[in-house]
Chain A
Amino acid sequence: GQQLNQSPQSMFIQEGEDVSMNCTSSSIFNTWLWYKQDPGEGPVLLIALYKAGELTSNGRLTAQFGITRKDSFLNISASIPSDVGIYFCAGQRIGGGADGLTFGKGTHLIIQP
């Protein structure tokens, strides 16, 4: 089946630092999504990307849909303590259809004061 390789697996950073994480796939996706999950909760959608090459921002978060449609990255600028959590990338094969998401294994972000 399809797999997403998400890296890094975990990040230990200082408050105020910028963060970068990415996902790559052997298959093409038509939609890329980035989610954040806090302990005991479901994933919360951060950014959705629909077109190859698209660059989208949501506050301090910026994500890009790779031009080959096989990768995406998420950047967080000037990290703050509430950014702690697990970040997941997810790809969808069919844009706009009822299609399940393929998820990466997640990047665990830990911020040291």
Chain B
Amino acid sequence: ETGVTQTPRHLVMGMTNKKSLKCEQHLGHNAMYWYKQSAKKPLELMFVYSLEERVENNSVPSRFSPECPNSSHLFLHLHTLQPEDSALYLCASSQVGQGNEQFFGPGTRLTVL
């Protein structure tokens, strides 16, 4: 695998379900990010992890819970979501201190019924 990978690519869940999104970066980067992309809205930053510590949380509802066990892996745990949470969830990674260009994964298309 190369670059940034995300699984699953598509997810349909009910409002009472618990699911997790997974992201893995194969670039040797030390920072990882979660973004939400909704129709007709700009990409919205959700969480930032640098050196496995959360450094930013953009007022995201607690039904979204991130986890970064190591510098290569990032999870987004989902619990009792709402239909308006349906969106494309994008993971990105970067190397802090070297320009910080962010490289994105293909995203997980989430539908909440």
Contact = CB atoms under 8 A, between A and B. Distances in A.
A39 to B, nearest CB: 11
A43 B90 contact: yes
B42 interface: yes
A103 B45 CA distance: 9
A88 B90 CA distance: 14
A16 B33 CA distance: 37
A44 B105 CA distance: 9
A89 B57 CA distance: 22
Contact of B101 (A4, A42, A48, A88): A48
B interface, size bucket: 20 to 34
Contact of A45 (B45, B50, B101): B101
A105 B41 CA distance: 6
Contact of A4 (B41, B42, B55, B100): B42
Interface SS majority for chain A: loop
A1 to B, nearest CB: 9
B48 interface: yes
A42 to B, nearest CB: 4
Contacts of B48: 98-100
A85 B55 CA distance: 32
Contacts of B40: 105
B101 A98 contact: no
Contacts of A59: none
Contacts of A44: 104
Nearest to B102: A101
Nearest to B59: A1
12 contacts: A40-B107, A42-B90, A42-B107, A43-B104, A45-B103, A90-B43, A95-B99, A96-B96, A97-B97, A98-B48, A102-B45, A106-B42
